[in-house]
Amino acid sequence: MASPFRSYLNDLYNKHRGLKKGRVADYIPELALASADSFGICVVSTDGQTFEVGDCDKTFTIQSISKAFVFGLALEDHGRKYVNSKVGMEPTGEAFNSIILDEATNRPYNPMVNSGAIATTDLIKGRNGTERLKRILEMFGRYTGRAHDINVPVFLSEKETGHRNRAMAFLMLNFSMVSEKIDETLDLYFQQCSMLVNAKDLAMMSATLANGGVNPVTGIRAIEERYVQDVISLMLTCGMYDASGEWAYRVGIPAKSGVAGGITAVASGKLGIGIYSPPLDAKGNSTRGIKVCEEISRDFGLHMFNTATPKHDLVTWMNGDHDSLGW
């Protein structure tokens, strides 16, 4: 008695695997080694069911997706008021690495662009870089239910070529937006971006947020419940680079993407989606990932503002059998 949702994901995978649009990121030299054909889709429901198709065990670096979750850890470390005073909550409409800062409030605009993410990483507590990195890796482990490593070549590649991020960090230091330990923080930022995940991890991470901060499989709390909405709301407004507005309109599921081709998307109270497919569009989002999320959202009525009866009922499709649906 197979779940029809599994067949649905298989069909979706087969429909989009041949899509040739987009380019694998190469501005960090190590990223260019990824295969354009890699493609995995994973969905984890808030009651702990996992549905996967394609390359869901293949690891890649989390990149910008880390920013949303490290923001959550900074909130736990300092509380909302302080974190809000250090990094804003307005989308920039600009590229993720643009050198713009909110001079009126002396903050970077939001935690999802590089400047804001570096300022957020600066807030992570710990006696030294090692302890801070350990805290970040352990936090991700609570979300995914497994231990995580850094891809050292990617980390070194980012560090060697990350002049723009370094320039931005020093500019923020000049304005007292970040603390003096800037070299340690930059290393930490490059390390968090170089952490290895797979599509299953990304689905588990967003399912954990969708489930109020508790991993639906392990039962372990990954983030205090009161901060879950902070993370998800900024994913909605700023999570998909300068395509966040279009994503909110077309897909309507808060999400965060990264330049290695990952997307994590949170349908609150229902499920998390994890995608891996390296070719990116001009804004930096996975081309197959966009198609897949758009279709899942439409077919199951997951757009956060949808009130119409969806084409398929999610619960029936996840739990039901083919016969009861007339297959």
For helices 114-122 and 65-78, the axis angle rounded to 10 degrees is 40
Q: Shortest gap between Cβ of 61 and ligand GLU (angstroms)?
A: 8
Q: Is 276 a catalytic residue?
A: no
Q: Is 231 a catalytic residue?
A: no
- Is the Cβ–Cβ distance between 3 and 320 less than 8 Å? yes
Q: Shortest gap between Cβ of 195 and ligand GLU (angstroms)?
A: 11
CA–centroid distance for 297 within its chain? 17
Quote the CA–CA distance of 264 and 260 in Å, as a whole number: 12
Q: How many CA atoms lie within 13 A of 323 on its CB side?
A: 1
Quote the CA–CA distance of 241 and 298 in Å, as a whole number: 22
The single residue among 92, 110, 114, 211 that binds ligand GLU, judged by CB under 6 A, is 114
149-208 binders of ligand GLU (CB under 6 A): 158, 165, 193
The phi and psi torsions of 30 (rounded to 5 degrees) equal: -65, -30
Q: Shortest gap between Cβ of 204 and ligand GLU (angstroms)?
A: 19
Whose Cβ is closer to ligand GLU: residue 169's or residue 318's?
Answer: 169
Whose Cβ is closer to ligand GLU: residue 63's or residue 297's?
Answer: 63
Token couple for 287: 């081309």
- Residue of 44, 67, 200, 257 with catalytic role: 67
Whose Cβ is closer to ligand GLU: residue 205's or residue 214's?
Answer: 205
Structure-token match 């974190």, residue found: 83
- Residue of 241, 257, 268, 286 with catalytic role: 241
Q: Is 143 a catalytic residue?
A: no
Whose Cβ is closer to ligand GLU: residue 97's or residue 98's?
Answer: 97
Backbone CA torsion sign across 311, 313, 319, 320: negative
Site string for ligand GLU, 88-107 (x = CB under 6 A): --------xx----------
> Which alpha helices (DSSP H) does 94-181 contain, by range?
114-122, 129-144, 152-161, 163-174
Structure-token match 């994890």, residue found: 274
- Is the Cβ–Cβ distance between 255 and 285 less than 8 Å? no
Number of residues that bind ligand GLU (CB under 6 A): 11
Q: Shortest gap between Cβ of 259 and ligand GLU (angstroms)?
A: 4
Q: If we measure between CA atoms, which residue out of 204, 206, 160, 205 comes closest to residue 186?
A: 160
Q: Is 31 in the site for ligand GLU (CB under 6 A)?
A: no
Site string for ligand GLU, 234-273 (x = CB under 6 A): ------------------------xx--------------
The single residue among 38, 45, 46, 64 that binds ligand GLU, judged by CB under 6 A, is 64
Q: Is 98 a catalytic residue?
A: no
- Residue of 8, 13, 143, 189 with catalytic role: 189
Backbone CA torsion sign across 313, 317, 319, 323: positive
Q: Shortest gap between Cβ of 255 and ligand GLU (angstroms)?
A: 13
Whose Cβ is closer to ligand GLU: residue 159's or residue 298's?
Answer: 159
Q: Is 50 in the site for ligand GLU (CB under 6 A)?
A: no
Quote the CA–CA distance of 9 and 12 in Å, as a whole number: 5
CB atoms within 10 A of CB 164: 13
Catalytic positions are 64, 67, 189, 241, 259
Residues that bind ligand GLU in the complex, under the rule CB under 6 A:
63-64, 96-97, 114, 158, 165, 193, 258-259, 284
